[in-house]
Structure 1
Amino acid sequence: MAPAFGLGLIKLWSVLWTSIMILVHDCKTDFRRIDRVLYASPEKDPTDNATSTAVQTFDLTESRQRHRGSSTQITRGSNSQPVEKARDHSLLVWQDYPATSLLRRIDWVLDLYTNFRGMSWNWRIAGPPPIPDWVESRLEGHSDSGPPRKGFVAGRDGTRMYSNLHDLLVARAKTFVLGYFVMDILKNFMMHDIYFLHGDRTLPPPSFLPSPIRESYFLVQSYRLLLSMAMMYTALHTVFDLSPLFFAGLLGPTLIGVRGEPWIYPDTYGAFSTILDKGLAGWWGGWWHQTFRFAFEATAKRILQELGFDISSLSGKALQLIIAFSLSGCLHACASVTQLGQTHPITGAFSFFLLQSLGILLQILLSHQLKKIGVVERTPKILRRATNLIFTSAWLYLTAPLICDDFAAGGIWLFEPIPISPLRGLGLGIEGTGWWCWKGFPWIHWYRGQHWWQTGFIM
């Protein structure tokens, strides 16, 4: 089930993410975050108190250029300088690892440990828009600047960063509500197909499908793959929507400072056009969520540097790609191990992600050869986009069963994503289902065993 899947994923992710902080980087010296410093009156200089070590000015032009040139760049600061006081009695500053207060250290570390995309840090993944201009202006000491009243800025992967809290919350609320009802529809389709209980592609398709589809192996497999992908996308998208709704909407900047600002929460998924323009590389490098990207890329670069490879060379970039997808494969393979059903972590999840790196390299190689003979330049853009979409779809059709079968066999689709199902309440679900889906709620209970190590919460 989904909790069992998450257990394995979280275990390895915790090890990997902690290694990034300790082995790949030195978080105390390499990482800095944007923070808001409050002070009582305009006459009081905030650099007089313990936060003075946090007041830094950075070469923000260099930061923006580095961000555009690489997917995971760390911007380092210059010498500490006082920053002009803001009219609202607050400053935006770059904060190093706090040297004095234990509570500030805990807050700093927790923020770093839970911020996977680095939106308010001196490292951030490529794709989403860079730090807003008004934030850069505030960091440089110009207190008159402020966020635009409306609108958003799109990143190079199509992700949108909203300028104000209202637009962010409206957008996230819409996608959350839409995702809720879409998951209800998808879950009902899955419940009518026994494949999603066992992961066996030889099982017969649901009877409600038209005969031409049920009699075609290609169409049945396409139906099941599309349904699996749609549920993964919708479930993750809906869960990720909860973060801005809670932290920016419910808590807000008043309670949690910069962590409640709307520009901290760009879209999770990019624009579909990145697939049309870049093919399989666009699918994984722009359209799909980039939550784990920094950890994968930073680890790959460090490994190659330790082995003496030139990470800027073609061979170095190819090895980085293979290592990054291998790490993703290991992450999902560990999640496969802890699932309840009969899964195949190595030949399933791990192999799927490793094959994605090989598919990207294959498409890049083919594209390079076609460019050399002048085919790409003479081909209309619409045909190039169609070719990218066809290649991506074909590669995923051939490789996605490895992970989709493993998900289904492990029981991940047994999870109930929503508490109340309108469709099942109307009698459109399988026999024995109704409006209320979370039977046995709450799932967490206190269990007392014979010994202390056998006592605790169970799910």
Structure 2
Amino acid sequence: MADYAFQRYERIVLNTQIQLELLIQQGEAKPLLLWHALLPLVLPIIALLVPRRTWGWLLRPILSVTTLSVSLEIIRYRRVLLGANGYMIGLIMVWWLVWSMTLLVFNDVERDFRRIVRTRSTTVGDKTVRQNGHASNKEHKQSPVTRDTETLVWKPYPQSLLPRLGWVIALVLNMRGPDFSFRISSLDPLPPLLDPKHHSAIKKPACPSATIRLRAAFLRFFIAYLAIDFLKLIIIWDPYFFGALSAPPPFPFDCFPAIPGLVSVYHSIVSGTAVYFALQYVTSLNPIFFLGLSSAFPNASRALTVTPLDAPWLYADQFGPITAVLDDGLAGAWSKWWHQIFRFGFVSTSKWLISLLPSTLSSHRSIRRIIITLVAFGISGLMHGSGSYTQIGETRPFSGTFLFFFLQPVGISIQGLCSRIIVTSLARHGLPPPRWLRRFGNVTFVLGWLLFTGNRIADDFANGKMWLTEPLPFSLLRGLMGRGWVCWRTPWFEHYDDGTFWGRGVRIL
């Protein structure tokens, strides 16, 4: 059984590679070159480097349109196998459009944004000169003592080019803004020196030390690595995850079809768990790499950048506390527990759209909340639906992936309405529900709603062959089974040249 499953998996991988090359040869798809993928990243940096008061006011709209054109061309024609069978290409391109508009159109970064940087200051003190423990002949004469101290300060948009380059690159790459003034609320509190007005009233626990944060990151990485290795094995055994949606699960799950709906629940749970650990695996690399290296080599870190990379408050966990699901239900699951990488881009887009409404509507709190919620899930659906579209397979970007995300605000509304009705009714009869019962109800609804809607995105993942991706360089389980220890066996890049300027460069395979 195991040999057949691995042979089937390797055959599907090979067939997908052949399918991509045939699509390119027939002109139905084009290869993606490395500089194509980097261009949407570089263009906003160039636009932000030019101050608005000079030519920035003209350059930024032009480069925004150029970024849009390049991204749409990539989404429409360019295909790769890397990144979950091309899924990440579509997702990243749509997100980068949103992020570019956030920085170039929806906000005035020169006027409103500040960055936390490390700076050195010199203090001069007095010291009495003493000899052998006694005051010298000129014991009242003071000698100046110069001390270099390192502090953190808020730095606005720099006026000189070289500091501006570092400031802009840090801005473009910091989507949660841990070292910027737009930092999202779920991050760790700032040091009191930087945020004195909120320090006394802060309700968050103190930020862990660098050692504790690194230890936690390594633990998350290790657990995620083992979990992905195990889940990948389950996925290889089950043909469902490669597009055979009607195929029954393998042993020991072959009894599930006897219970209606259980197979769908099983596939949704495996898919959701795999996505969760994949995110934990990737995001744990940020503190491991940056915090670990800057702590090990502090002098090199200070020489390379003014960002305080060794500050542990820069590396807040990507996922919030699970108590958010217990206390706030589906709304808490998405807004507090699940990762908030894209939060500022979503909120900025929402606020910009709200600013276009008449004041009678834009000032209404309920309308603002509804718009922010719909925009956030709408953009999420568009991003992930675009990822579905750029995969090589028979996917359903709209009716599958997009609809999954757009159904989440429906579930939030249903749960909020039901909670108000039930709690009000019980309280009216002198039976206010205890906390444990409210939490049980929240968790039950969240699990039920996610399983009810989850098959849409899980089936689309399977149809798009997302699970062909190999996130781990080495597999402990497959090595012990004699299937080889190394997972990354094929190259990721090759030189490509179709005779044109746009078609010449390093191809992403």
What TM-score does the superposition give when structure 1 sets the normalisation length? 0.80
Retained in 2: the 8 A contact 1:329–1:353?
A: yes
Equivalent residue, structure 1, for 2:349: 299
CA distance in 2, matches of 1:154, 1:315: 29
Counterpart of 1:6, as a letter, is: M
Larger mean Cα displacement after TM superposition, 303-312 or 178-187: 303-312
Conserved 8 A contact 2:326-2:439: yes
Does 1:348 pair with 2:397?
Answer: no
Match of 2:493 among 432, 437, 444: 444
Matched, 1:394 2:394: no
Inter-partner Cα distance in structure 1 for 2:397 and 2:180 = 34
Please state if 1:381 is matched with 2:435. Answer: yes
The correspondence for 1:126, drawn from 179, 185, 188, is 185
Q: Partner of 2:265: helix, strand, or coil?
A: helix
Q: 1:272 to 1:367 in 2, by over 3 A?
A: same
Pairwise CA distance, 1:230:
0.8
Deviation at 1:404, TM superposition (A): 1.2
1:411-422 equivalences under 5 Å are 411-422=465-476
CA separation of 1:311 and 1:411: change in aligned 2, threshold 3 A = farther
Provide the residue aligned with 2:264 in structure 1: 221
- The structure that has the greater radius of gyration is 2
Determine which of 172, 189, 202 is the counterpart of 2:246: 202
CA distance in 2, matches of 1:350, 1:396: 14
Aligned to 1:240: 283
CA 1:303–1:360 in 2, change beyond 3 Å: closer, same or farther? same
Show CA shifts across 1:130-172 (max 9, x none): 31335435x99xxxxxxxxxxxx984xxxx8743221111110
Q: Conserved in 2, the CA contact under 8 Å of 1:301 and 1:311?
A: no
CA contact (8 A) 1:154 1:161 kept: no
Alignment of 1:281-300 (within 5 A): 281-300=331-350
1:96 maps onto 2:151 in alignment: no
The yes-or-no answer on 1:231 pairing with 2:281 is no
* Inter-CA distance 206–251: structure 2 relative to 1 (3 Å threshold): same
Given the superposition, is the C-alpha separation of residues 335 and 154 from structure 1 closer, same or farther in structure 2, using an over 3 Å criterion? Answer: farther
One of 8, 17, 22 as aligned partner of 2:99? 17
Shift of residue 232 of structure 1? 0.3
Change (3 A) 1:261 1:348: same
Identify the residue that residue 123 of structure 2 maps to in structure 1: 42
Q: C-alpha displacement at 1:374, in angstroms?
A: 4.1
Task: Please report how far the alpha carbon of residue 89 of structure 1 lies from its aligned counterpart in structure 2 after TM superposition.
Answer: 2.0
2 CA distance for matches of 1:90 and 1:99? 22
Counterparts in 2 of 1:311 and 1:226: CA distance versus 1, 3 Å: farther
The 8 Å contact of residues 341 and 409 in structure 1, kept in 2 or not, is answered as yes
Following TM superposition, by how much is the alpha carbon of 1:366 offset from its aligned partner in structure 2, in angstroms? 1.9
Question: For residue 460 of structure 2, what is the amino acid of its counterpart?
Answer: D
Alpha-carbon deviation of 1:92? 1.1
Q: Partners of 1:420 and 1:154 in 2: how far apart?
A: 42
Tell me if structure 1 keeps the 8 A contact 2:325–2:443: yes
Could you tell me how far 1:314 is from its partner in structure 2?
Answer: 1.4
Verify the 8 A CA contact 1:272 1:287 in the aligned structure 2. yes
Is the 1:119–1:264 Cα contact (8 Å) retained in structure 2?
Answer: yes
CA contact (8 A) 1:128 1:154 kept: no
Counterparts of 1:10-159 in structure 2, within 5 Å, are 10-39=92-121, 41-43=122-124, 89-100=149-160, 102-133=161-192, 135-136=194-195, 155=204
Contact 1:322-1:358 within 8 A present in 2 as well: no
Check conservation: 1:129, 1:154, Cα contact below 8 A.
Answer: no
What is aligned with 1:148?
none
| Structure-2 separation of matches of 1:406 and 1:182 | 22
Contact 1:161–1:267 under 8 Å retained in 2: no
| Aligned match of 1:372 | 424
Per the TM alignment, residue 210 of structure 1 is displaced from its structure 2 partner at its CA by 5.5
Q: Does 1:360 align with 2:412?
A: yes
- Measure how far apart 1:418 and its partner are: 0.8
Instruction: Please tell me whether the aligned partners of residues 188 and 313 of structure 2 are also in contact (alpha carbons under 8 angstroms).
Output: no
- CA 1:127–1:87: 2 relative to 1, 3 Å: farther
Greater Cα offset, 184-193 or 309-318 = 309-318
Aligned residues: 392
Identity across the alignment (%): 36
The correspondence for 2:238, drawn from 183, 189, 193, is 193
Shift of the 302–205 alpha-carbon distance from structure 1 to 2, 3 Å rule, reads: same
Q: Which residue of 1 aligns with 2:70?
A: none
Tell me which amino acid in the other structure corresponds to 1:32.
Answer: R
| Counterpart in the other structure of 1:59 | none
Match of 1:265 among 310, 315, 319: 315
Q: Deviations over 1:81-101 (max 9, x none)?
A: xxxxx965222111100012x
Native 8 Å contact 2:214 2:287 kept in 1: yes
2:88 counterpart residue number: 6
TM-score where L is the length of structure 2: 0.72
Instruction: Report the equivalent of 2:292.
Output: 249
Alpha-carbon spacing, 1:392–1:87, altered in 2? closer, same or farther (3 Å): farther
Give, in angstroms, the shift of residue 312 of structure 1.
4.9
- Between 1:224-233 and 1:202-211, the stretch displaced more is 202-211
Instruction: Return the letter of the residue paired with 1:130.
Output: P
Could you tell me how far 1:260 is from its partner in structure 2?
Answer: 3.5
Q: For residues 435-456 of structure 1, what are the alpha-carbon distances to aligned partners after superposition, in whole Å with 9 as ceiling and x for unaligned?
A: 211111x321222443443321
Is the deviation greater in 376-385 or in 343-352? Answer: 376-385
SS of 1:94 mapped into structure 2: strand
What's the CA shift for 1:311? 5.0
Deviation at 1:127, TM superposition (A): 2.5
Unaligned runs of 5+ in 2: 1-80, 126-145
* Aligned twin of 2:223: 178
Q: Quickly say closer, same or farther: Cα 1:210–1:4, change in 2 above 3 A.
A: closer
1:161/1:266 contact within 8 Å kept: no
Q: C-alpha separation between the residues in 1 aligned to 2:148 and 2:203?
A: 28
Cα separation, 1, equivalents of 2:401 and 2:221: 28
